[in-house]
Amino acid sequence: MSKFEKPRKRQKPASTYGFALHCCITRAVRAVPAFAAGAPGILVLITPPGKTTFDYVKPITTALHGSEVDYLGRDLGFMCITSRDRPAKSIGEFETECRDKHRAIVIAESREIVPTVISLAADAVIDIPPITPKDLQAACRCVLKIEATEAQAAEALSYPEVMLWSALRVGRPMDDTLRRLKEATEAENNAVNSRDRSTNVTRLEDMHGYGQAKDWGLQLATDLAQWRDGKLDWSDVDKGLLLSGPPGVGKTQFARSLAATCDCHFIASSLGQWQAKGHLGDLLKAMRADFDAARQNAPAIIFLDELDSIGDRESFTHEHASYSVQVVNALLECIDGIAGREGVIVVGATNNPDRIDPALRRAGRLDKHVTIGMPDEEERVAILRHHLGGSAPSADLELLGPQMEGMSGADIEQLARHARRIARRERRAVTVDDLRANLPCLIPVEGFYRQTVSVHEAGHVIAADEIGYGEFVGVYVARQLNPRIQEHQAGAAGFRYEPISFRDRQSYLDEICTNLAGMAAEHIVFGRHGDGSGVGSDNDLRRATELAFRIEANFGMGDGLRFVDVSSDGNSGRWDRQLTQKVDQVLKAEFERAKNILSNERPLLEALSKELQEIGLVSAERFQELRRKFRPPKETALAS
């Protein structure tokens, strides 16, 4: 009897799952009797479909060494090959870890990814068999000290693995385990079916405020219908979407509505849900179980919430970096695994798209990125009308549009829910007063503050127009601010830019000048400026300063060509006194330039700011009218 077939008691795997996998490895190695008996050699083992190399590491190394170890020693070799590994990397690792070892095992996710060099060196390439009822019987008897019939073991293996290995416990009778599995599966299926079939799930075509995301979803529904009819290849269907936006804009609701419109099975999950299953191995099993469920129920949409919590491998520097890297790698494997399998769409959601590993956004994964913004006035009214379901006069709801400024879709849904509760309690229909009772007391933008905001935004518009930086699309000043919003935006000027263009030092200086023009306008009109240019996470001064640092330190557009790290987490760049002095000089020069431009355009500045103060909105067309009225054409001015 070889050591692969009957390990000594001290070598017995500590878990039921590990013991079952050990049985599978033993059967695979028996295909080469000499190796199984301890003779020298090299084997390549191929994991079953849906399994990864990670699960088999400990059973194989235990079998090679004869006991559980972290280091195999000089004479034993082991390595893994995954679908992500380049052939050159695998060959190099094989040369180092396996070629000259007395005994070695290579484990790979498929035969296709094993380099020919390794296949030629191996004594055999063998498929690892799946876990059988007999394997489970042996694992229950040896690890859990319980007996199970072959029929019971077969029934247990019919349940998702992540549930099975959790339900099996020391001393728990198999009848009790099967009862628990049946009840849990029925409860989970009922919950999923209830969510999927609920009449409360609004179809995407009836949703408001989703912009490009809605357009993408409706196109996906059309493509899936053609795919079902055999009129479109799966390769032509978009398979991944990344949604970003502030909390409350309805990213989860979008995914549910998308599934309803596409008539797809819906699975919602997150890193937090996977982590709740237990240690790293349990987390990875739960992750793979969700993707397996999506494949088994295709067409399906799997929604991954708070995707940024997965992290970016380049930023992992803490003591748990290995854990985090394995999580990211496993997710990439799951997404890549469904790329060639039909009927599964992956939708990820995040509030911080910059914190997502770039590999997740590569082609074939979540390569389509759409940002969902806060709804505008018309969309806010439409969302409220939808949630009220016609229980309030439609015309009266229009009056609430401005009062809901700054509210997300979730805020508006809550507003409607509170109003319906008031109406139910008094046994009557919902009224506008019920809605107003739950609206926040908005802060009016008026008086001298409104005047300063109007002058500030007018300065941005006029300076950009004079310089020729960007295409102006419109400017507004808000009527009121919502106190629930942490970062208020009392006004903004919008410009459209070319996505890709040649940029030299002057183009960056023009952008800095435009950013500083709001503050410059305040100086011209009031002789001083307020704090508006430095408030918020993306303020004028921050943008201008970042650009000045890049000119002087990153782009070789300053006095020297040396690159200096001036990122927010850079070690020294921003503390270089000589560099900061150059940045200050750039900012002061462009601030004076902006003041000179606006001083020469004082009549236009006053006219534009006055219209903004009174009306609150000036379009690009209206600005052209004001410019023709208060600024003579340059050719005429030169001729005179």
Q: Which CATH number fits domain 447-634: 1.10.620.20, 2.60.40.790, 2.40.30.10, 1.20.58.760?
A: 1.20.58.760
3-state secondary structure of 117: helix
Reading the block at residue 280, the tokens are: 């790293």
Q: Which CATH architecture has domain 198-371?
A: 3-Layer(aba) Sandwich (3.40)
Q: Select from 2.60.40, 1.10.1760, 3.40.50, 3.90.1720 the CATH code of 9-131.
A: 3.40.50
Q: Are strands 124-127 and 41-46 parallel, antiparallel or unpaired?
A: parallel
Cα 571 to Cα 555: distance, rounded to the nearest angstrom: 18
- Distance, in Å, from the CA atom of 46 to the CA atom of 449, rounded to the nearest integer, reads 70
Q: What is the pLDDT of residues 404-452, one digit of tens each?
A: 777 778 888 888 888 888 888 888 888 888 888 878 777 888 899 999 9
Query: What are the phi and psi torsion angles at 474 (to 5°)?
Result: 155, 160
Q: What is the pLDDT of residue 213?
A: 86
* pLDDT 10s digits, 455-479: 999 999 999 999 998 889 889 898 8
What is the distance of C-alpha 304 from the center of its chain? 8
Q: How far apart are CA 142 and CA 19, in angstroms?
A: 8
DSSP 538: T
Classify residue 477 by its DSSP letter.
E
- Return d(Cα 206, Cα 200) in angstroms, integer: 12
Task: Report which secondary-structure segment, H or E, holds 448.
Answer: helix 447-467
Q: Is 568 exposed, middle or buried (0-12, 13-18, 19+ CB in 10 A)?
A: exposed
Listed residue (612, 549, 614) closest to 575, CA to CA: 549
Can you give the pLDDT at residue 340?
56
What's at 506, amino acid-wise? Q
- Please tell me the distance from the alpha carbon of residue 109 to that of residue 84, in angstroms, as a whole number: 10
HEC states along 181-219?
Answer: HHHHHHHHHHHHHHHHHCCCCCCHHHCCCCHHHHHHHHH
- Residue-wise pLDDT for 248-281, tens only, equals 778 888 888 899 899 899 998 888 888 777 777 7
The segment(s) of the chain belonging to CATH 1.20.58.760 are 447-634
- Residues carrying CATH 1.10.8, the chain: 377-439
Token readout for 581 is 């002095």
Q: Are 307 and 350 in contact (CB under 8 A)?
A: yes
Reference 334, options 368, 373, 285, 372; nearest CA is 285
Give the H or E element holding residue 261: helix 251-262
The residues, ordered by sequence, that sit 6+ positions from 252 with a Cβ below 8 Å of its Cβ are 268, 303, 305, 349
Rounded to the nearest 5 degrees, what angle is found at the Cα of 92, between the Cα atoms of 89 and 95?
150
pTM for this model (two decimals): 0.51
Dihedral of CA 506/512/513/514: which sign?
positive
| Strand bridging mode 617-619 / 471-477 | antiparallel
Residue 301 to residue 278: CA distance in whole angstroms:
25
Which residues of the chain, if any, have pLDDT below 50?
1-3, 5-12, 195-199, 569-572, 635-640
How buried is residue 551: exposed, middle or buried, by Cβ count under 10 Å (0-12/13-18/19+)?
buried
Pairing type for strands 265-270 and 76-81 reads: unpaired
Query: What CATH architecture applies to the domain 377-439?
Result: Orthogonal Bundle (1.10)
Mean pLDDT of the chain: 83
HSE, CB side, 13 Å, CA atoms: give it for residue 90: 21
Asked if 509 contacts 584 with a C-beta cutoff of 8 angstroms, the reply is: no
Secondary structure class of 304 (helix, strand, coil):
strand
- 542 vs 523: CA distance, rounded Å: 19
Strands (E), 76-134: 76-81, 103-108, 124-127
d(CA 447, CA 464): 27
Domain with CATH 3.40.50.300 in the chain: 198-371
Q: How many Å apart are CA 403 and CA 398, to the nearest integer?
A: 10
Identify each DSSP E strand in 173-331 by its residue range.
240-244, 265-270, 300-305
How far apart CA 566 and CA 552 sit, in angstroms, is 10
SS3 label, residue 50: coil
Q: Residue 8 has what pLDDT?
A: 43
